[in-house]
Amino acid sequence: MDPSPRFLTALPVYNEHSHVNPVLDEVIRYSGDVLVVDDGSTDDSVAVIDELALSTPLIRFFRNQDNEGLVPAQSRAIAAATGQYVHLAAADDMILPGFYATAIKLLEQYPDAGLFTGDSLLFDGTTGSFVGVRPIVMPRFKPGYLSPANVYRALPHSDNWILTGASVIRINALRNSGGLDKQLETFADGFLTRKVALTYGYCYAPKFVSTWMIFPTSASHSRVLDPKKAAALQEAAYVRLSQDPIFPAWYPARFANNLRFASARLALMQKPVDIPTVATLGGRTSIDEAALTFILKVLRGALGRLIATAWLCLRLRPYRLHDLATTFIFRKLFTRTGVARKIATGDRM
């Protein structure tokens, strides 16, 4: 892809000297301009970025003297962005071949779309083991555009189609939607991409375009796994969604259930499983909490996690069984997951 100032990758960095060099190499290889915001790192991240910036004019580098947090760092990059498109990247994730070319092609084919998104491979950031694929439910099975009306019709059944690291956003759509809301913290990008999708529609390609490294100690995971912090995030999201007329009146309650499911499912992945945390995060009622506690105490290991997940699905209904089944079958038959995993773990073509 020919590098062009119309496209920018925004990369916040905080104490990630071991990750920043590889991801910048990937960005420059497949894209072009990259704007790095160091958010008050205390390791040698700044030295690593300085050295890379001296080797290419494609890197622009800003520094925050203090650690202000992910959303302010991303917002600083967005404010300085020029051109038409931006990718909100992460220093510990990776771009796969064809990401930017596919995104720009579809966004130019569908000029009304507010963003592009694709599929992402998930890996355990500590062990490097493969965890899964997102989105869990594919919004369509061939590249194309989903209008705001399409998005609205899908919203009652699934709302977790867009992973920010696997997305390219049209700058005008991002800014017209209000940018990232600092008050929403780790949900700021989720709120923004949902609003862009409901306002402008979005493009999707059933193609692996990025990886997502999941670290148990990350800010987002720490928040959703802490019952008090998770409840505070649910409340903040509920209020913000209720205030914005682009979201239907029934959606905030629906989203709260989806967030509850995601938090509980993440807690189930911890080893060992923290049973009280799973019960608190996933329970809408005292009956739910008692059932989850009983299941996980009586049925240990993988079977207990499976039955607990089934209970959560039954009670919170984050996805329709039909949608899960069709996505599973499609990926088994037509998606080259194994090839993408080899590329993502270093066996490059």
Contact 37, 11 (CB under 8 A): yes
Peptide bond into 272 cis (omega under 30): yes
Instruction: Dump pLDDT digits (tens) for 248-267.
Output: 999 999 998 988 898 898 88
Cα atoms in the Cβ-side hemisphere of radius 13 Å centred on 158: 18
Q: Are residues 162 and 140 in the same domain?
A: yes
Residues 86 and 49 in one domain: yes
- Mark whether 176 and 110 lie in a shared domain: yes
Averaged over 179-190, what is the pLDDT? 90
CA distances 65 to 12, 132, 154, 219, 336, Å, are 13, 37, 43, 20, 44
Question: Do residues 189 and 41 share a domain?
Answer: yes
From 149-153, 212-216, 267-271, 314-318, the region with the lowest mean pLDDT = 212-216
Using the predicted structure, report yes or no on whether residue 202 has a pLDDT greater than 90: yes
Do residues 168 and 109 both lie within one domain? yes
Top pLDDT among 150 and 186 is at: 150
Q: Same domain, yes or no, for 83 and 161?
A: yes
Express each pLDDT in 111-131 by its tens digit.
999 999 999 999 887 888 888
pLDDT confidence of residue 2: 43
Q: Which domain holds residue 172?
A: 7-215
- The pLDDT value given to residue 217: 62
Same domain, 118 and 244: no
Task: Give the burial string for 105-126 (b: 16+ CB within 10 Å, else e).
Answer: bbbeebeebbbbbbbbbbbebe
- Of the listed ranges 170-184, 188-202, 223-237, 322-336, the one predicted with least confidence: 223-237
Contact 247, 151 (CB under 8 A): no
Instruction: Give the pLDDT score at 54.
Output: 84
Domain presence at residue 328: no
Looking at the 3D structure of the chain, how many domains does it have?
2
Q: 197 and 67 in one domain?
A: yes
CB distance 132 to 64 below 8 Å: no
pLDDT tens digits, one per residue of 204-217 = 999 999 998 887 66
pLDDT confidence of residue 222: 66
**What percentage of the chain has pLDDT greater than the value 90?**
48
- Is 280 within a domain? yes
DSSP alpha helix (H) spans, the chain: 17-30, 45-55, 70-80, 99-109, 148-154, 171-176, 188-200, 219-224, 227-243, 251-268, 275-282, 286-298, 301-316, 321-334, 337-344
- In the predicted model, is pLDDT for residue 305 greater than 90? yes
Task: Please tell me whether residues 61 and 114 are part of one structural domain.
Answer: yes
> Helix 286-298 to helix 275-282 angle, to the nearest 10 degrees?
150
Residue 211 covered by a domain: yes
For residue 198, being part of any structural domain is answered with yes
The CATH code of the domain that includes 140 is 3.90.550.10
CA atoms within 13 A on the CB side of 162: 31
Residues 255 and 205 in one domain: no
Residues found in the chain = 349
Q: Do 196 and 128 fall into the same domain?
A: yes
pLDDT for 220 equals 64
Between CA 52 and CA 186 the distance in angstroms is 29
Report pLDDT for 85: 93
Look at residue 300 in the predicted model and tell me its pLDDT.
84
What percent of the chain is modeled with pLDDT above 70?
94
What pLDDT does residue 266 have? Answer: 84
Token digits of residue 277: 């945390």
Domain end position, chosen among 215, 238, 268: 215
Looking at residue 345, the DSSP 8-state letter turns out to be T
CA distance 78 to 74: 6
Residue 32: per-residue pLDDT: 66
pLDDT attached to residue 5: 43
Write down which residue in 215, 233, 254 finishes a domain: 215
pLDDT single digits (tens) 19-75: 777 778 777 777 668 888 988 888 888 888 888 888 888 888 888 888 888 899 999
CA-based nearest residue to 277, from 285, 287, 265? 265
Residues 237 and 266 grouped into a single domain: yes
Q: Which of 194, 215, 236 is the last residue of a domain?
A: 215
What's the pLDDT at 218?
65
